[in-house]
A = this chain, B = another copy of it.
Amino acid sequence: MPHLVILYTPNLEAGADMTALCRALADTMLAARDETGKPVFPPGGTRVLAYPAAHYAVADGARDYAFVYLNLRMAAGRSAASKKDAGDALMEVAKRHFAALLAERFISITLQIDEAPGQVYDAKHGNIHPLFNTP
């Protein structure tokens, strides 16, 4: 936690640099600060994963529509303001990233943040977090 998963229609694969979008979104998460100036997301726990669909249908299928769904899952407990600010900042990155494409084709972008819904078990293991724990 937190991780942002992007599901999108494969008709965007050629025109949108999704690796660059992943990096820009991760950088935005890393830069997010709450009201007290503390990072909203832990650097070692920030991940963005993007998946083009193998098959899809959008709306009535009459045009070559594209769809990008961004879903950020994070633990509960952050302030309302830091959640709104983080969401707004991430959406702004997505808007900028797709601005040129939006001028020439049909795209819908949706960003939603979920606070670990229905979660009844949580465990972590690894060696990345300690790299970012400054003494």
Contact = CB atoms under 8 A, between A and B. Distances in A.
A121 to B, nearest CB: 4
Contact of A83 (B1, B80, B120): B120
Contact of A131 (B47, B88, B106): B106
Interface in A53-99: 53-61, 63, 65, 67, 69, 72, 76, 80, 83-84, 86-88, 91, 94-95
Determine chain A's interface SS by DSSP, over half rule: mixed
Contacts of A116: 112, 114, 118
Contacts of A50: 53-56
Contacts of A26: 57-61
Interface in A8-46: 8-9, 13, 18-19, 21-23, 25-27, 30, 43-46
Given A48-B56, A56-B49, A84 B115 contact: no
